Amino acid sequence: MTDPNHEQHRTILQRIAHQAMVAKGLIPDFPRQALAEVDGIHGPAAATDASTRDLRSLLWCSIDNDDSRDLDQLTVAEALLNGAVKVLVAIADVDAVVKKGSALDDHARQNTTSVYTVAETFPMLPEKLSTDLTSLNYASDRLAVVVEIILAGDGALQSSVIYQATVRNWAKLAYNSVAGWLEGSGSVLPEIGAVSGLDENLRLQDRVAQKLRALRHQQGALELETIEARPVFTGGELTDLAVDKRNRAKDIIEDFMIAANGVAARFLASKKFPSLRRVVRVPKRWGRIVELAAERGSKLPKEPDAKALEQFLLSAKAADPLRFSDLSTSSPWWKRSDPQR
């Protein structure tokens, strides 16, 4: 017999999430005026500027969680001469639908992001927009801001440009199934096979992402790992926690987005526009990190050194991969990388 109290798990967690939103100064529900503005929007934005490029013929695809309905990025790659590669990242052009100074814009400005909790997602924009009219949905023409990046054979940046374009998502893909296919442990995906040339394009994206990651780590990016779990509900009952593991499909999106963020940050700086940045700080307790390394048979320099720390982390992960996440969270490492790194 089912315990009726268990069926209320999601409801209880939703109430806690709402309380936490309010406590943090965020707005969990959309104001009436914002919802009225949504009612007046009847379709996705269309190109009105002659400079908007038409890139619908490129082999764009989305890779996201299995249950994602708000698709905010597409990717595609193109091989060039001498081992160079053109990478294009399309970001949903929400600004083309949500006007500055509107009630929708005011709400988005207040919350600044969609907030994902165990029991409920609090989208930055109402679902009519976030999962439909501004989402880069399968087989739909949408306006996007495209970051175009030319990379050398080793992943080094050669040039970049940002522009508006119309794009089309030819395949809605999911992280785990794409990763299984890339790693050879999964079957051929019908969504990939249905689009001529998409299989090789994804393999090209995978190779480029690995080069981008390797280059970042050569420059001092750190290999840290934390355990993230996704709740599994059966009806209203929380029945399990599934560990969300890193894989090569996630690496494609992560590495491409880091590269795109760097391009955007430099573009804004060149135009003298203000922007928010993540700042890489020297750890306050470097001495403790040196001690942790020594306990594991490694020697770090007395002064903070990102490359030396990265080498230690790589060796620690290879020696004890099961407990590496514990090491990653046991000491004050550098914060996540600045988007320009």
Q: Quote the mean pLDDT of the chain.
A: 86
Query: Which of 231, 223, 216 lies closest to 313 in space, CA to CA?
Result: 223
CA atoms 194, 259, 301, 281: torsion sign: negative
The helix/strand/coil state of 229 is: strand
Q: In this model, does residue 268 exceed pLDDT 80?
A: yes
Query: Which of 77, 67, 115, 113 lies closest to 94 in space, CA to CA?
Result: 113
The Cβ of residue 70 has, within 10 Å, a number of other Cβ atoms equal to 20
pLDDT of residue 87: 98
Report which listed range, 11-20, 82-91, 275-284, is most confident.
82-91
Residue 295: what are its φ and ψ, rounded to 5°?
Answer: -60, -20
Higher pLDDT: 319 or 222? It is 319
Burial 41-59 (b: 16+ CB within 10 A, else e): beebbebeeeebeebeebb
Letter for the amino acid at 85?
Answer: V
d(CA 174, CA 68): 9
d(CA 20, CA 120): 12
pLDDT of residue 45: 92
Report which listed range, 105-109, 273-277, 325-329, 335-339, is most confident.
105-109
The helix/strand/coil state of 278 is: coil
| Span 290-311, average pLDDT | 82
The helix/strand/coil state of 85 is: strand
Find out whether 165 and 52 touch, Cβ atoms under 8 Å: yes
Q: How confident is the model at residue 330 (pLDDT cuts 50, 70, 90)?
A: low
Q: Which helix (H) or strand (E) holds 76?
A: strand 73-79
Q: How confident is the model at residue 133 (pLDDT cuts 50, 70, 90)?
A: very high
- The model's pLDDT over 73-98, given as tens digits with 9 standing for 90+, comes to 999 999 999 999 999 999 999 999 99
Higher pLDDT: 109 or 289? It is 109
Helix axes 248-270, 198-218, angle to 10 degrees: 70
CB within 8 Å of 243: residues ≥ 6 apart: 227, 228, 229
- The model's pLDDT over 55-64, given as tens digits with 9 standing for 90+, comes to 999 999 999 9
Find out whether 128 and 122 touch, Cβ atoms under 8 Å: no
User: Across-strand partners of 88?
Assistant: 76, 148
Letter for the amino acid at 113?
Answer: T
d(CA 44, CA 125): 14
- The model's pLDDT over 220-265, given as tens digits with 9 standing for 90+, comes to 776 666 667 777 777 767 777 777 778 999 999 999 999 999 999 9
Beta strands 228-234 and 157-168 are: unpaired
d(CA 152, CA 23): 47
Q: In this model, does residue 340 exceed pLDDT 60?
A: no
Residue matched to tokens 């207040």: 110
Q: In this model, does residue 159 exceed pLDDT 60?
A: yes
